[in-house]
Amino acid sequence: MTETSTPQTSIKKILPLILATAIFMQMLDSTILNTSLPSIAKDLHESPLNMQNAIISYVLTLAVFMPASGFLADRFGTKKVFIFSLVLFSLGSLFCSLSQNLTHLVISRVIQGVGGSLMTPVGKLALIKTFDKSELLKAMNFAIIPALIGPVLGPLVGGYMVDYLSWHWIFLINIPIGILGILLGLKFMPNYKSDDVDFDLKGFLIFAAASLLLSVSLELFGDMQNITPVLLVFIMGFLFLYYYYKHAKRGGNPIFPLNLFQVRTFRVGIVGNLATRLGISSVPLLLPLMIQIAYKQSAVTSGWIIAPMALTAIFGKSSVIKILDKYGYRQTLMINTFIIGTLICLLAIPDIHTSLYWFIPIIAILGFFNSIQFTSMNTISIADLRNFQTSSGNSLISVNQQLAIGFGIAFGLIVLKLFENTDLINGEIHNAFRLTFLTVGILTILSGFVFRRLHISDGKNMKSKED
């Protein structure tokens, strides 16, 4: 059921732009701290390698609250929830800019995270319900093209603002973008609702507890003095996951029905997303840190080094439909993951005396293949879902992505800290970064075998109609 007075043709033209605005804000905010962490850490009297709380708190909040996005959209309507999320996100951004210490910053990031947890999933849900499956890949592709600039513009803008203004300004940039999204949403966002709404509060709390415990265990592992409490928290996280499985198996209306995992393409897409993003997500944080900490360069320099990723990502998005039509999802995802893993390994080659320009072609090529990877994984995950599975499936895909990003950031920093405390680096922090890139790259290559479970014909129903 939908409530809208705007013509459907206008909605179809503007809706991908509205979703792009939401994704842009969320991706910008997920990455804008990457080049700014050393400066923020100095101002707040913290170590740069201990500032991950400011990033992980945001990503974790997204993952914890995203499961409620489908229910809230069905209950109150996609339009109302989307606009509310933009207002909350913008307020959180304002609070971040006013933070006086790390605790204030983390709390403000949590407020942002609550807004972000609703913003993108609800926007995607409206897009999925508006477009036919034959049109969806093209519409989603268009929505993501402008949003691809966020992950690279974030470090670049953050670098300039930190070097020439103050780190507080890196959050204020969200406010005018948020206002634009609100104005577009008020006029063009359809207000889809559902008459059959039943929220699984118990399942939501169990799943949220599992996500929280698993994330906290990774955080503790990075700073551990004693492994026993870390293992206990980690085991408790898996016990809550098992508890959720038993809860969902009893029937009723679980927040994430188990029948989602009976859909093979969804199952492979979810596992593949989690596995490959573990490696991919750590690179945008580790590379700027290495450039600033090991090479002693400015935040602006580290931002410019990874800036080419934006342009090449857009080229990747414009090519992905042709690539998928020619090679299919199985072959594309397997080969693409191997290429990404190899490129991450190549980041480990330059030593401390090598020019920083060596990184630019690697990062540029990585941006191209990353964009193909994300679009392919997201679309194959929803390829075979039935209409009644769309809301819960879309929410779980979004939750899975955010958990993978959070786990990837935590994992990358854990590996870095482990190498930092070994004799392998010969007292050079740069060697710790090199070994970390090598480890992360090899694990990414291995994750490509997940996509062997796909069939050659999978995803054919997602092909766009010829113009």
What pLDDT is attached to residue 337? 92
What pLDDT is attached to residue 53? 73
- The residue ranges of every structural domain in the chain are 7-199+255-462, 200-254
Q: Is 420 exposed, middle or buried (0-12, 13-18, 19+ CB in 10 A)?
A: middle
Which residue stretches of 148-188 are H helix? 149-164, 169-172, 174-188
For residue 253, the surrounding DSSP H or E stretch is: none
Cα–Cα nearest to 48, from 269, 292, 414: 292
Q: Where are the beta strands (DSSP E) in 349-430?
A: none
- Compute the half-sphere exposure of residue 258: CA atoms within 13 Å on the CB side of its CA: 11
State the SS3 of 1-36: CEECCCCHHHHHHHHHHHHHHHHHHHHHHHHCCCCC
Where do we find the tokens 């509060």?
A: 201
Where do we find the tokens 């979810």?
A: 270
Alpha carbon distance 158, 172 (integer Å): 11
Q: What is the pTM assigned to this prediction?
A: 0.75
* Inter-CA distances, 374 with 139, 193, 273, 307, 462, Å: 15, 28, 8, 19, 15
pLDDT in tens, 50-60: 676 777 788 78
- Provide the 3-class DSSP secondary structure of residue 465: coil
Tokens of 155: 């470090």
CB atoms closer than 10 angstroms to residue 20: 21
Q: Is 456 exposed, middle or buried (0-12, 13-18, 19+ CB in 10 A)?
A: exposed
CATH topology assigned to domain 7-199+255-462: Growth Hormone; Chain: A; (1.20.1250)
Please name the residues in contact with 185: beta carbons below 8 A apart, sequence gap of 6 or more.
18, 79, 82, 83, 86
Q: Which residues pair with 3 in a beta bridge?
A: 191
- Provide the 3-class DSSP secondary structure of residue 252: coil
Per-residue pLDDT of the chain (467 residues; tens, 9 = 90+): 555 455 566 677 777 777 777 877 777 776 777 677 777 887 877 776 667 677 778 878 887 887 787 778 877 888 888 899 999 999 998 998 888 878 888 889 889 989 988 888 788 777 777 776 667 667 776 666 666 666 667 777 777 787 777 777 888 888 888 888 888 888 878 777 776 667 778 888 888 888 888 877 776 665 555 677 778 888 888 898 889 888 888 877 787 888 888 788 888 888 888 888 888 888 888 888 888 888 888 878 887 887 787 778 777 777 888 888 888 888 888 999 999 999 999 988 887 888 888 888 998 899 889 888 888 888 888 777 776 677 678 778 878 887 887 788 878 888 888 887 777 777 678 888 889 999 999 999 998 898 888 877 776 666 543 32
